[in-house]
C-alpha cells in the first residue's frame, strides 16, 4: 500500500477507494465550476475501463457528501450541481496531515496542487 493511501483524511477513512471513486474525485478536482451528475457521468465514462451506471455516480456523490468531501448546490434550473468542499484558507496545524496526503495523492496521479 502506498504512503498516500495509508494516510487518508478522515472523510475517506473506511471507504474503499475504487478506481471509479478515485477518478470521480480527480474529475471534481479538475472542474472550474460545479457540474450536475449527468455531466460528471458523461465526463467520467472515457476514464473508466468498464461499464457503470448513472446511479453509481449518484451513490458516490451522496457518499462523498455524507463524508463532507463534496457539496451539492441547487442550480438556476433546479438541478443539483456538485463540487469539492472548499478547503479553509487559514487551516490550522491539524490540516497538515490532510495537506500532505493530498500532495501525495496528486503526485501519485501525476498532478500537482496549486493554491486558488
Spans of all domains in the chain: 17-86
For 21-53, what is each residue's pLDDT tens digit? 889 999 999 998 999 999 999 999 999 988 999
* Mean pLDDT (the chain, rounded): 80
Q: How confident is the model at residue 7 (pLDDT cuts 50, 70, 90)?
A: very low
Q: Are 25 and 15 in contact (CB under 8 A)?
A: no
CA atoms within 13 A on the CB side of 41: 14
pTM of the model: 0.65
For the domain made up of 17-86, the CATH class stated in words is mainly alpha
Amino acid at each position: 500500500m502506498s504512503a498516500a493511501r495509508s494516510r487518508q483524511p478522515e472523510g475517506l477513512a473506511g471507504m474503499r477507494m475504487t478506481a471509479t471513486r478515485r477518478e470521480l474525485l480527480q474529475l471534481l478536482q479538475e472542474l472550474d465550476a460545479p457540474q450536475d451528475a449527468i455531466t460528471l457521468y458523461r465526463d467520467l465514462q472515457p476514464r473508466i475501463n468498464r461499464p457503470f451506471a448513472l446511479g453509481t455516480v449518484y451513490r458516490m456523490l451522496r457518499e462523498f457528501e455524507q463524508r463532507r468531501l463534496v457539496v451539492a448546490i441547487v442550480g438556476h434550473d433546479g438541478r443539483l450541481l456538485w463540487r469539492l468542499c472548499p478547503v479553509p484558507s487559514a487551516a490550522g496545524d491539524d490540516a497538515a496531515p490532510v495537506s500532505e496526503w493530498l500532495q501525495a495523492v496528486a503526485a501519485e496521479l501525476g498532478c500537482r496542487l496549486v493554491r486558488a
